[in-house]
């Protein structure tokens, strides 16, 4: 549940410094699944924007820890854990909402709650994909368009 069907082709990575490696990423705003609020890898200012986006996925208290801003790989790791727990929570809520709230809510409301949970789950799965891509770029992978 909450898994997006692959709508775009897979992306392969190339060694840093490959000719034209960033051209496709710049033209499309990053590889498929790249967060909209983060400039593509290789564009000036993408790292601070990525850190800000990752912090937005985490509890607000994470912003008070300078170590997470200095080490984006640690922040991405923590954000991945946090978002994964949220995905599991949405899945559990989706499984049990009819039993837990079926009698407490007016007719039709459970269906609306299920739609809400589904949309939130999809948003969180997209965030997981974005976190994975950011971690790959931090690790030195370069994304190039598949032909």
- As a whole number of angstroms, the distance between CA 23 and CA 40 comes to 10
Longest pairwise C-alpha distance within the chain:
61
Distances (CA, A) of 144 to 4, 13, 19, 80: 22, 6, 10, 24
DSSP-based three-state secondary structure for 38 = coil
Q: What is the number of other CB atoms lying within 10 angstroms of the CB of residue 54?
A: 28
Q: What is the pLDDT of residue 127?
A: 96
DSSP H or E stretch at residue 14:
strand 12-14
Q: What is the pLDDT along the chain (147 residues), one digit of tens a residue?
A: 555 544 544 444 444 444 444 444 444 577 889 999 999 988 888 999 999 999 999 999 999 999 999 999 999 999 999 999 999 999 999 999 999 998 999 998 999 999 999 999 999 999 999 999 999 998 877 777 666
Q: Express each pLDDT in 61-88 by its tens digit.
A: 999 999 999 999 999 999 999 999 999 9
pTM value is 0.74
Beta partners for residue 12, in sequence order: 144
């Amino acid at each position: 549940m909450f898994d997006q069907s692959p709508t775009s082709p897979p992306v392969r990575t190339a060694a840093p410094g490959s000719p034209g490696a960033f051209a496709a990423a710049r033209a499309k705003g990053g590889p498929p699944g790249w967060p909209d609020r983060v400039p593509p890898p290789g564009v000036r200012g993408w790292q601070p924007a990525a850190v800000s986006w990752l912090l937005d996925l985490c509890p607000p208290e994470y912003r008070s820890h300078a170590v997470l801003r200095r080490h984006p790989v640690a922040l991405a790791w923590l954000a991945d854990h946090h978002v994964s727990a949220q995905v599991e929570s949405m899945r559990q809520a989706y499984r049990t909402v009819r039993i837990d709230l079926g009698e407490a809510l007016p007719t039709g409301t459970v269906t609306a709650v299920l739609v809400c949970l589904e949309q939130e789950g999809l948003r969180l799965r997209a965030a997981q994909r974005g976190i994975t891509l950011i971690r790959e770029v931090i690790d030195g992978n370069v994304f190039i368009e598949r032909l």
